[in-house]
Structure 1
């Protein structure tokens, strides 16, 4: 069995198991591989990182170290964004469009956008990035 990262025409990424590459191809051609988010039959294999097998003790050590580095990087990025960007909340897509089309002054913003809004911004050529955001713990 092999686990593939898959991506539909609407940019939804998901995983699925297949006996082998030929099984994926066969099922895909028959139209029975569906996106779990939108039911699209237009599904292709997404870019995948190779799985490098390590000894179990090595794997745990590398995994914890890399996870800690990634969490620190994201935490530092979040702090920098919160300190240097204006928070626009759920109005992010509208504000980003206004800046992109020159209706508002250029400024760094951050906020929240739905998957549909993010796709729409991307289709319009509005430059933005998305990062995982750690919610602050309640006091």
Structure 2
């Protein structure tokens, strides 16, 4: 596996892993590499320093990060981070019970409130077919339990 720092034509920078250098080239040529921020297919490798280990020097562990592994860098990432914080602060996380909770509120069996969680594809499709308003969120939950 190889990690590349990538950059799109709009200047967004992100990292991605590939099976090999030739795998990156094949995926890019086939149009399967896109900017993680804006979706642009005009992506190239960015300048990066290689990681080199010498056989005569033991591997030195990397310093442990003192904060999150990554910070929201662009306007789109910052907007998503703000959306996530707002949803987590102003709604109830119901985890895998999302479909059941949404249906119960729609039927008037439980009081309406703002909720979010996970649903399988067939559960989400059934909610939509029954006229229950739902929308996918562009992030994964911070916590995995109720």
TM-score by length of 1: 0.50
2:123 counterpart residue number = 117
> In 2, Cα distance between the equivalents of 1:135 and 1:88?
11
Which of residues 93, 102, 113 in structure 1 aligns to 2:99?
Answer: 93
Equivalences for residues 13-32 of structure 1 within 5 A: none
Q: CA deviation at 1:128?
A: 1.2
Superposition misfits of 4+ residues, deviation over 4 angstroms: none
Q: CA deviation at 1:85?
A: 0.2
Change in 2 beyond 3 A, CA 1:135/1:126? closer
| CA RMSD in angstroms, aligned pairs only | 2.4
CA displacement, residues 17-50 of structure 1 (integer Å, 9 cap, x when unaligned): xxxxxxxxxxxxxxxxxxxxxxxxxxxxxxxxxx
3-state DSSP class of the match of 1:126?
coil
CA displacement, residues 38-90 of structure 1 (integer Å, 9 cap, x when unaligned): xxxxxxxxxxxxxxxxxxx98142x45x9322221111111101000011110
3-state DSSP class of the match of 1:78?
helix
> In 2, Cα distance between the equivalents of 1:135 and 1:87?
9
From the CA coordinates, give the structure whose radius of gyration is larger.
2
Change in 2 beyond 3 A, CA 1:126/1:58? closer
Query: Which consecutive unaligned segments of at least 5 residues does structure 1 have?
Result: 1-56
Q: CA deviation at 1:107?
A: 0.5
> In 2, Cα distance between the equivalents of 1:58 and 1:114?
33
Q: CA deviation at 1:136?
A: 3.9
> In 2, Cα distance between the equivalents of 1:134 and 1:116?
19
2:109 counterpart residue number = 103
Change in 2 beyond 3 A, CA 1:128/1:106? same
